[in-house]
Chains A and B, each alone.
Chain A
Amino acid sequence: MANLTTKLALILFTSSFLFSCSDKENIERAVYIWKAKQSFEQHDAKFITSNKISKIYIRFFDTSTDGKGNSKPKSELKLKGETPTNVEIIPTIFIENNVFLQLKKKDLNKLPKQILSKIFYIFKQRFPKHKLQEIQFDCDWTLATRVNYFSFLKQFKQKNPEVEISATIRLHQIKYQQKTGVPPVDKGVLMYYNMGDIKEIDEPNSILNNEIGQLYISDKTRYPVELSLALPVYSWGIWFKNSKFKSLIYDINEQNIHELSFLTPIKNNNYQVNKDTVFAEKYLRNGDVLRVEIPKMKALEEAKKICKNLKSNKKPQIIIFSYDNKNSNYFSSEKLEKIYSNY
C-alpha cells in the first residue's frame, strides 16, 4: 500500500513537473521588426539566439494609394546584415484602410498578386536561405472596408494555399466582432498596445492600460481564430507645454529616466522639467511636463492574465513589439524570460 501511494505520488509529482515545464517551454517567442531601415548586426543575432526567439515578423512594406485610385507600395524594407537561419522570417505587410475604400474592384482583384510578387522579390533578395511559411497583414479595417479586406485575404490565400496567413486584430475588433467581422485567416495577433489617447494630459498610459484592456476583454471573451499576443516593449515621453500636447520624445526608457536630472517626478508617471534643457533635440522649458510611458513588468503580466482566454491552445505565442538596435540593449534575458512565460 505504501509502495502504491509512493508510486502514485511520484507519478503525480512528475506529471505536474513535466506539465509546468512544458507550459513554459511551449510558448513560441517572436519579435516584430518594424523599422524600414535597419541593420542586423552580430549583437542582434546574438540577442535573437540567446533569447530563443524563433520567429521574426518583419515589416516588408506598406501599401498605400497614389491619390489617383492606384495602389502603391511604400517604405520598402532596407535591411542590412544577415539574419540567423534558424529563425523563421515572416513578412508583415501594413495596408492602409483607405486602400480598400479608394480602389476600384478590378484593381482590388489585382492587389493580391501585386503584393505577393513584391513579397517574393524582397524575400528572395534579403532572406535567400529562409523558407517562406507565413505572411501577416496589418490593417485596421472598418465596417466600410470589411468586405473588400476580407475578400482580399481570401484571394490572397487562394494564390498561396500552403503559406499560413495571419492578420493583426485590434481590441475593438475583438469586442465588436459581430459587427467588424472575423477575417478569414489561419490565425491572428492581438495587438495589445496603443490603447489610450496620447494627447490627453490625464491619460495614465497610452501604450499599455489594462483598465482599458479590460473594457474590451472579459473572462467570457472568445475569438473564433487562434490568437497570438503582441505586447509592447517600447517606451516614450509625451511632452506637454501648458497642458497642451507638444510632441513625442523617443529617447526615454527605463534605463535612463532616473538619470535625467532635469526631470522632477510629480505624480504617477508625470515629471516636471525643472530647468531649460535640450534633450533629444527638443528644447524642454522649465515648467513643461513629461509623461513617461514605460510598460512595466507588472502591467505586462496583468495583460497576459486578461488575454489568457484568447490564448491559442495549439501553439501559444507572444510577440514583442518591437525590436530594434536601440532597445535591444535594454532588454535583459531575465526580463524577456518573464515576458515570454506565464501565459
Chain B
Amino acid sequence: MWIFNPLSVSSPEVSDFFYTTQLFGDKLFAVPDENIQAWYEYFDRKVNKAHIANYIYKLPLKDLKAIQRDIKTGESPILNSLALHLAVTKNQTFADYFVFAKEVEILLNPKSDDYWINVPLDIPEIKKLIPVAIKKAKKSKSNFLKIRYAYQAIVLLRYAGNYKKLIKYYNKQFLKLNNKKPNILNFWALAYVAYAQIELGKKEEGQKNLLKLFCNSNAKKRWADLLIDKKYFENNYNSLSAKSKFYWTIFKAYHNSGKALIGLKKTANYDANHPDFQVLLGREINKLEDWLLTREHFGETAIILNKKKKQVSENYNSDFEYLGKFIKFVKIIAEKQNVKNSFRTYALLAHLYLLQKEPKMALKYLRKAKQMPSYQPDLEPQIRYTRILANTLAAKQFDAKFEQKIGLDILWLEKQNQDNTRLFSNLMLVLHKAYDRKKMYAKAAMFLCNDLCGNRNRYNRWQDFSSPHFYLDKYASTVEVLNFINLAFSENKSALESFLFKNFKETKDRYYDLAGTIELRKDNLKKALSLFEKVNLHYWKSKKSYQTYLKNNPFIFQTESPQARKYDNTKPELFISKAFFTKKLIEFKAQYKQEKYAKRKSELAYLLATAYYNMSYSGTNWHYLAYGKASSGGELLHTGHNSFINKNYSTCSKSIQYFEQAYKLATDINQKAEFLFTLASVQNTANNFPNLKTKQPNTFAKSLRADNDAYSFYLEVCPGLKYF
C-alpha cells in the first residue's frame, strides 16, 4: 500500500527498484527511451518524438535507403516527420548514419521467422564493418554523429569477440570524442567495455565499471545489477577508491529491503545530491508506507490495538520510532542539499509527517516545497495527494467544507488523468477507510464506487465486495442506505460527488431492496414493507438470483405439510417479491395474534414458523435476508459475512419459538408428534450452521425419544431419526 509516488523523485527507468510494485498498467511507469530523448533534443524538440522512435525502430532498411536516396530531392518517400525534416534540410549525413546503424542492427540480430532456427552471427561481415565504423567516426564533421559511429564500432567489436581492441578503442578514441555535455552513449559504451573486461578475466576493472554503470546510468542499471559480484566488493571494500566506495553504498542501499537509514547516512556523507540518493529516499518512504499503511488499511490494526500478537505491536512501534529518526535525517538533508534537489526533499518530508500523523507539519512542508524557486510542476500531483491526506487527517469533521477542500485536489488529479492509476486507487481506499472509521458509510461507499465501479477486477482490494451494495449490506443501517440513495441518485450532486459516482450504473431499486432487507432482518415488518414498496415491480423478476432462489412458497415446509397448504395456496412465483412476502407475513401475524381458537392458532403458528425457518440459512428462501455471491460453478453461495444477519438466520430461534407454539397448541396427538419431530429436525439443522460457536442441546429430540408412540411412528417414516 503506498501513496507516495516514487516517480516524484526519480525516473521510470529505475522502476524495477521501487520497493512496491506498479502492476496496474500505469502509463506513468512506461520507461522513456533515453536514446529517442537524445535525438529529440538534438533536433531542438522540433521533430515529433513518436516519429523519431518510428524512424529508428520500426522503419525497415529499404525505407531508410529510399529516404537516403531521395534526400537531394528535398522530399521524403515516407510519411514521417523525421524523414521530412531530413529531406527538407537535405541532411545526407544523418540519413546515411541511420542506414548504417540499421545495417549493423540487422547484422547483429539475425532473425528467422521460425523461432526454432538459430541464425548464427556472420562474424566475417561484422569484422568487415569495424574499420568502416571507425573511419566514419573519424571523418564525420558532426560530433553528434562521430560519437554514434564510434559507438557502433564498439558494438561491432564486442560481437566480433575482439575484446582487447574494444577496450583499446574505447580508451584511446572513444573517450576523446566526448564533449563536455553528458552523453548517454558514454555509459552504453562503458557497458560493453565492462563486459569485455570480464570476458578477458580483468575482474577488478570490469566490476568497478559495472558498479559505476549501476550508479550513473538508469538504462543500464538492471543489466549491471545482474552482473555485479557482491562478494568481490565485500571482500575488497578497503581497497576501493572513495568514488567506488560511494557507489557501493548506493548499491547496498538499493538492495536493502529493511531499514536502510545507516546506509543512507553514509551515502549522504558522500553526496546528498546524487540522483540515486533521491531515489533511495523515495524508496525508504515506500517501505515505511508498506509497513505502516498496509497494516493500518489491511487488517492488522485490530491485532495492534488488541495486542493479540506481541510481535506485530512491537514491529509497529519500532517502525514508528524509525519513522521519527528518518524524519530527523531528511530534515537535515533538505537543508544541506542544493536548491535543485531540496524542493523535492521538502515534498518527501511533508509525506513523512503525514505518515507520522502530523498533518500540520505535512501541510507546512508542502507549502515550503511549493515556494522553493526551483519548484517543478511535475511534482504537483504528489503535492496534491499528500495534501488531500493531510487535510483528511487534520479535519475534525468531514463536512461540506472539508469535502470542498479535498474535492478541489481530487478533481485536479482527475484532470491530469491520474484516476486510472494505482496511486489514485490507493487514495480512494484511504479516504473510504477514513469515512468508514467515522461510521459515515454512505459517504465511504462513494469512494468505493469510484474505484470499484471503474474496474471490477479491483474487488480483491475491497474485501471482495464487487459492489458498494455488499459493503453497505455488511456495515450500514437503513438510514445510511437511504443516505446513499440520496447521494447516488441526486440531481444536484456536487462536482466531487458527480466524479465519484461517474461509473456507478446501478438502480435505486437495488438499494431500496437492501434497505427493506435490513428492516426485515430486524423483524420491523411494516417499515420493511414501506421500503419494499418503493421498488419497481419488474425489479424482483429481473434478478436471476431471485428467480432461482425465491421460487418456493416460504409458508410451506419441506415436508409439504397439509396444514400449511390448508391456509396458503398462493402461487409460489408471487413470492419472488419481497414486498408480497412481507405483506403476507404481516397478515398471518395479525391473524395469529387475534386467533383465540387453539387448533387454528396452532396452524397459524406452524405457518409463521415455516416462514421464519425458510428465511433462515437452512431454509429455501434464505435469499430474503442474505445476498449471495456466485461461485465459479455459477451456483449462488452464502457469503461469509452472512452470519451477522440476525439470530434466527443462523440459529432458527424465532422459527423454533413458533414451532413450539404450534406444538403446544396442537390438540391432535398425531399432529403433536409431527410438530415435535419438526422441532427436532429444525434444531438439528440449526446446529449445523457454519462456525456456530455454541450448539443448542436438542431437547426436542430428547422429548421425541421419550414419547414412545410418537417416536415409533416417526422411526417408521424416517429411520434416520435414531441419529438425533
Name A residues whose Cβ lies closer than 8 Å to a Cβ of B.
Answer: 66, 70-73, 114-115, 117-118, 121, 242, 276-278, 281-283, 285-287
Contacts of B306-335 to chain A: CB distance below 8 A: 309-312, 314-315, 318
Beyond A71-B116, A276-B258, list 16 extra A-B contacts (CB 8 Å).
A66-B115, A70-B115, A72-B115, A73-B115, A115-B116, A118-B116, A118-B118, A242-B300, A277-B258, A278-B256, A282-B257, A283-B258, A283-B287, A286-B311, A286-B314, A287-B312
- Pairwise interchain contact A114-B116, C-beta atoms closer than 8 A: yes
The docked-state distance in angstroms from the alpha carbon of A286 to that of B258 is 12
Q: In this assembly, does B255 line the interface, its C-beta being within 8 Å of a C-beta of chain A?
A: yes
Evaluate whether A73 and B258 lie within 8 angstroms (CB atoms) in the complex, with A242-B312, A286-B314 already known: no
Partner of B315, one of A66, A115, A287: A287
The docked-state distance in angstroms from the alpha carbon of A72 to that of B112 is 12
The docked-state distance in angstroms from the alpha carbon of A286 to that of B311 is 6
Q: In this assembly, does B259 line the interface, its C-beta being within 8 Å of a C-beta of chain A?
A: yes
Partner of B115, one of A71, A276, A278, A282: A71
The docked-state distance in angstroms from the alpha carbon of A115 to that of B259 is 49
- CB contacts (< 8 Å) of A285 on chain B: these are 311, 315
- Pairwise interchain contact B255-A73, C-beta atoms closer than 8 A: no
- CB contacts (< 8 Å) of B255 on chain A: these are 281
Partner of B116, one of A117, A278, A282: A117
The smallest C-beta distance from B578 to any residue of chain A, in angstroms, reads 39
The smallest C-beta distance from B126 to any residue of chain A, in angstroms, reads 18
Task: Name the residue in B310, B311, B315 with the highest tally of chain A Cβ atoms < 10 Å from its Cβ.
Answer: B311
- Pairwise interchain contact B315-A278, C-beta atoms closer than 8 A: no
Partner of A73, one of B116, B311, B314: B116
- CB contacts (< 8 Å) of A121 on chain B: these are 118
Contacts of B207-263 to chain A: CB distance below 8 A: 255-259
- CB contacts (< 8 Å) of A242 on chain B: these are 300, 303, 309, 312
- CB contacts (< 8 Å) of B303 on chain A: these are 242
- Pairwise interchain contact A276-B315, C-beta atoms closer than 8 A: yes
Evaluate whether A276 and B312 lie within 8 angstroms (CB atoms) in the complex, with A66-B115, A281-B257 already known: no
The docked-state distance in angstroms from the alpha carbon of A75 to that of B256 is 29
The smallest C-beta distance from A223 to any residue of chain B, in angstroms, reads 33
Task: Give 7 CB contacts A-B under 8 Å.
Answer: A72-B116, A118-B116, A118-B118, A242-B312, A276-B315, A278-B258, A282-B257
The docked-state distance in angstroms from the alpha carbon of A242 to that of B301 is 13
Q: Specify the main secondary structure of chain A where it touches its partner.
A: mixed
- Pairwise interchain contact B309-A287, C-beta atoms closer than 8 A: yes
Of all A-B residue pairs in the complex, the 3 with the closest CB atoms, nearest first, are A287-B311, A72-B115, A114-B116
The smallest C-beta distance from A41 to any residue of chain B, in angstroms, reads 13
The smallest C-beta distance from A5 to any residue of chain B, in angstroms, reads 66
- Pairwise interchain contact A287-B314, C-beta atoms closer than 8 A: yes
- Pairwise interchain contact B115-A283, C-beta atoms closer than 8 A: no
The docked-state distance in angstroms from the alpha carbon of A121 to that of B114 is 15
- Pairwise interchain contact A276-B259, C-beta atoms closer than 8 A: yes
- Pairwise interchain contact A286-B300, C-beta atoms closer than 8 A: no
Chain B contributes a number of interface residues (CB within 8 A of A) equal to 20
The smallest C-beta distance from B308 to any residue of chain A, in angstroms, reads 11
- CB contacts (< 8 Å) of A70 on chain B: these are 115
- CB contacts (< 8 Å) of B312 on chain A: these are 242, 287
The docked-state distance in angstroms from the alpha carbon of A258 to that of B664 is 71
The docked-state distance in angstroms from the alpha carbon of A30 to that of B314 is 49
The docked-state distance in angstroms from the alpha carbon of A282 to that of B310 is 22
The docked-state distance in angstroms from the alpha carbon of A230 to that of B541 is 61
- Pairwise interchain contact A286-B257, C-beta atoms closer than 8 A: no
The smallest C-beta distance from B316 to any residue of chain A, in angstroms, reads 10
Contact digits for B160-181, partner A, Cβ 8 Å, 1 yes 0 no: 0000000000000000000000
- CB contacts (< 8 Å) of A286 on chain B: these are 311, 314-315, 318
CB-nearest residue of chain B to A273: B311
The smallest C-beta distance from A264 to any residue of chain B, in angstroms, reads 12
- CB contacts (< 8 Å) of A73 on chain B: these are 115-116
The smallest C-beta distance from B73 to any residue of chain A, in angstroms, reads 41
Task: Name the residue in B116, B117, B257, B303 with the highest tally of chain A Cβ atoms < 10 Å from its Cβ.
Answer: B116
- CB contacts (< 8 Å) of A72 on chain B: these are 115-116
- CB contacts (< 8 Å) of A281 on chain B: these are 255, 257
The docked-state distance in angstroms from the alpha carbon of A287 to that of B300 is 14
The smallest C-beta distance from A14 to any residue of chain B, in angstroms, reads 53
The docked-state distance in angstroms from the alpha carbon of A242 to that of B117 is 49
- CB contacts (< 8 Å) of A282 on chain B: these are 257
- Pairwise interchain contact A278-B314, C-beta atoms closer than 8 A: no
Task: Name the residue in B258, B300, B303, B309 with the highest tally of chain A Cβ atoms < 10 Å from its Cβ.
Answer: B258
The docked-state distance in angstroms from the alpha carbon of A322 to that of B287 is 35
The docked-state distance in angstroms from the alpha carbon of A121 to that of B318 is 57
Evaluate whether A283 and B300 lie within 8 angstroms (CB atoms) in the complex, with A114-B116, A276-B315 already known: no
CB-nearest residue of chain B to A122: B118
- CB contacts (< 8 Å) of A66 on chain B: these are 115
Contacts of B519-568 to chain A: CB distance below 8 A: none
The smallest C-beta distance from B18 to any residue of chain A, in angstroms, reads 14
Contact digits for B111-123, partner A, Cβ 8 Å, 1 yes 0 no: 0001111100000
The smallest C-beta distance from A170 to any residue of chain B, in angstroms, reads 26
The smallest C-beta distance from A35 to any residue of chain B, in angstroms, reads 14
The smallest C-beta distance from B110 to any residue of chain A, in angstroms, reads 14
The docked-state distance in angstroms from the alpha carbon of A276 to that of B258 is 8
- Pairwise interchain contact A278-B257, C-beta atoms closer than 8 A: yes
The docked-state distance in angstroms from the alpha carbon of A115 to that of B311 is 54
The docked-state distance in angstroms from the alpha carbon of A66 to that of B115 is 10
The smallest C-beta distance from B408 to any residue of chain A, in angstroms, reads 38
Evaluate whether A276 and B318 lie within 8 angstroms (CB atoms) in the complex, with A281-B255, A287-B309 already known: yes
Task: Name the residue in B300, B309, B312 with the highest tally of chain A Cβ atoms < 10 Å from its Cβ.
Answer: B312
The smallest C-beta distance from A318 to any residue of chain B, in angstroms, reads 32
The docked-state distance in angstroms from the alpha carbon of A294 to that of B197 is 39
The docked-state distance in angstroms from the alpha carbon of A114 to that of B115 is 9
- CB contacts (< 8 Å) of B116 on chain A: these are 71-73, 114-115, 117-118
The docked-state distance in angstroms from the alpha carbon of A297 to that of B334 is 58
- CB contacts (< 8 Å) of B117 on chain A: these are 117
Contact digits for B253-288, partner A, Cβ 8 Å, 1 yes 0 no: 001111100000000000000000000000000010
The smallest C-beta distance from A80 to any residue of chain B, in angstroms, reads 10
CB-nearest residue of chain B to A37: B226
The smallest C-beta distance from A282 to any residue of chain B, in angstroms, reads 6
Task: Name the residue in A114, A281, A283 with the highest tally of chain B Cβ atoms < 10 Å from its Cβ.
Answer: A283
- CB contacts (< 8 Å) of A115 on chain B: these are 116
The smallest C-beta distance from B192 to any residue of chain A, in angstroms, reads 18
The docked-state distance in angstroms from the alpha carbon of A287 to that of B314 is 9
- CB contacts (< 8 Å) of B258 on chain A: these are 276-278, 283
The docked-state distance in angstroms from the alpha carbon of A242 to that of B315 is 12
- CB contacts (< 8 Å) of B287 on chain A: these are 283
The docked-state distance in angstroms from the alpha carbon of A150 to that of B309 is 54
The docked-state distance in angstroms from the alpha carbon of A281 to that of B251 is 12
The docked-state distance in angstroms from the alpha carbon of A117 to that of B116 is 8
The docked-state distance in angstroms from the alpha carbon of A162 to that of B609 is 80
Task: Name the residue in B287, B303, B318 with the highest tally of chain A Cβ atoms < 10 Å from its Cβ.
Answer: B318
The docked-state distance in angstroms from the alpha carbon of A283 to that of B315 is 12
The docked-state distance in angstroms from the alpha carbon of A121 to that of B256 is 42
- CB contacts (< 8 Å) of A71 on chain B: these are 115-116
CB-nearest residue of chain B to A287: B311
The smallest C-beta distance from B84 to any residue of chain A, in angstroms, reads 35
Contacts of B405-441 to chain A: CB distance below 8 A: none
The smallest C-beta distance from A201 to any residue of chain B, in angstroms, reads 15
The docked-state distance in angstroms from the alpha carbon of A72 to that of B116 is 7
The docked-state distance in angstroms from the alpha carbon of A239 to that of B682 is 46
The docked-state distance in angstroms from the alpha carbon of A276 to that of B311 is 10
- CB contacts (< 8 Å) of A283 on chain B: these are 257-258, 287
The smallest C-beta distance from B48 to any residue of chain A, in angstroms, reads 31
- CB contacts (< 8 Å) of B311 on chain A: these are 285-287
The smallest C-beta distance from A168 to any residue of chain B, in angstroms, reads 22
CB-nearest residue of chain B to A285: B315
- CB contacts (< 8 Å) of A277 on chain B: these are 258
The smallest C-beta distance from B290 to any residue of chain A, in angstroms, reads 9
The smallest C-beta distance from B223 to any residue of chain A, in angstroms, reads 14
The smallest C-beta distance from B60 to any residue of chain A, in angstroms, reads 21
